[in-house]
């Protein structure tokens, strides 16, 4: 009836270590949820934002592979083509989320489920892993406060040995062993304190990992109060 509450979308974040299979699993999850009848969008941080950003910038569907101006700065930093102060690049990563925060909220409210590939948790962990004395986890979290809070965060954990089997380090700035060791420890630190996180053993086969993710997401959706509004990070 017209009185029945509209079903809001679900905000699902996929986080984890390098080469844990986040992007691959986002794609599988997107297929699964679509088959279940959900309207689903995929977005990733940093960089290429599909649809939501494209419409904000009045891009046609043909040009959705463009990045935002901030996305481009981040991309050039990660590839090593430009230098940024640690704090400055941190704030740009955060700004990259803020520039789509509103459209995420609108999509969720109007019934679209969004799968997000990396989010604020990568944001604070990679910055704090630089061991810059004036860039603590606490400092790094501040600009994230007020962003849409995920209904569930899937954390894909993988051992260094399993990750190595999936190819060596790439050429990007953070793809080195010292950085990855600190990233691993810091993810552990923040997830121990966090609510609504499902820790997934991503060292298993694609099929096994997808199955665990489906279980966690299905559980989250069944518990979700569909008349509620999206919460905010605090
Ligand atoms: N960063 C930051 O500093 N601050 C921020 O706020 C944010 C990010 C948001 C770029 O991220 C960098 O940005 C990242 C953090 C920093 N730095 N690092 N390092 P990105 O998300 O663009 O990174 P990526 O290029 O997507 O790599 P990735 O995330 O590490 O990969 P993945 O998405 O987890 O994995 P995948 O691409 O799905 O799979 C990797 C390979 O493994 C591929 O060949 C798959 O076929 C294979 N694979 C996947 N799953 C399996 C299983 N189960 N078995 C066997 N093989 C598998
Ligand atoms: Mg990825």
Q: Which residues contact 117 (CB under 8 A, 6 or more apart)?
A: 14, 22, 23, 26, 42, 43, 44, 45
pLDDT for residue 68? 83
Nearest ligand, CA of residue 84? 1
Of 13, 24, 172, the one to substitute when testing ligand 1's pocket (max ligand atoms within 8 A of C-beta) is 24
pLDDT for residue 139? 98
Of 17, 29, 43, 46, the one to substitute when testing ligand 1's pocket (max ligand atoms within 8 A of C-beta) is 46
CA quadruple 24, 162, 90, 12: dihedral sign: positive
Tell me, in angstroms, the distance from the centre of ligand 1 to residue 18's CA. Answer: 5
pLDDT for residue 5? 60
> For the chain (length 234 residues), average pLDDT per consecutive 10?
70 96 97 97 78 46 56 91 97 95 96 97 98 96 98 96 87 90 96 94 97 98 92 97
Measured distance CA(155)–CA(188) in Å, rounded? 10
pLDDT for residue 149? 98
Tell me, in angstroms, the distance from the centre of ligand 2 to residue 22's CA. Answer: 5
pLDDT for residue 48? 55
pLDDT for residue 69? 86
Nearest ligand, CA of residue 44? 1
39 forms beta bridges with: 112
Predicted TM-score of the model (pTM): 0.93
pLDDT for residue 131? 87
Q: Whose CA is nearest to atom 29 of ligand 1?
A: 18
Q: Which has the closest alpha carbon to 78: 61, 60, 92, 97?
A: 92
Report whether the peptide linkage leading into residue 46 is cis, meaning its omega lies within 30 degrees of zero.
yes
Work out which ligand 1 atom sits closest to the CA atom of 202: 53
Residue 124: Cβ within 10 Å count: 27
Work out which ligand 1 atom sits closest to the CA atom of 126: 3
Measured distance CA(143)–CA(98) in Å, rounded? 9
pLDDT for residue 54? 47
Tell me, in angstroms, the distance from the centre of ligand 2 to residue 4's CA. Answer: 38
């Amino acid at each position: 009836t017209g009185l029945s509450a509209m079903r809001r979308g679900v905000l699902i974040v996929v986080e984890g270590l390098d080469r844990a299979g986040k992007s691959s699993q986002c794609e599988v999850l997107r297929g699964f949820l679509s088959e279940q009848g959900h309207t689903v969008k995929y977005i990733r941080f940093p960089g290429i934002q599909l649809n939501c950003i494209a419409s904000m910038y009045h891009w046609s569907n043909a040009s959705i592979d463009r990045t935002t101006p901030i996305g481009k700065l981040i991309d050039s930093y990660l590839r090593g083509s430009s230098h940024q102060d640690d704090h400055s690049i941190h704030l740009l990563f955060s700004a990259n989320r803020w520039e789509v925060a509103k459209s995420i909220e609108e999509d969720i409210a109007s019934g679209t489920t969004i799968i997000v590939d990396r989010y604020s948790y990568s944001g604070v962990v990679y910055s704090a892993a630089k061991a810059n004395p004036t860039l603590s986890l606490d400092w790094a979290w501040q600009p994230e406060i007020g962003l849409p809070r995920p209904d569930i965060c899937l954390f894909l954990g993988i051992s260094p040995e399993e990750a190595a089997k999936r190819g060596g380090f790439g050429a990007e700035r953070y793809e080195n062993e010292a950085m990855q060791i600190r990233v691993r420890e810091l993810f552990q630190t923040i997830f121990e304190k966090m609510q609504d996180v499902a820790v997934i053993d991503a060292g298993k086969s694609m099929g096994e990992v997808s199955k665990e993710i489906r279980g966690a997401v299905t559980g989250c959706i069944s518990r979700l109060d569909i008349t509620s509004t999206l919460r905010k990070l605090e």
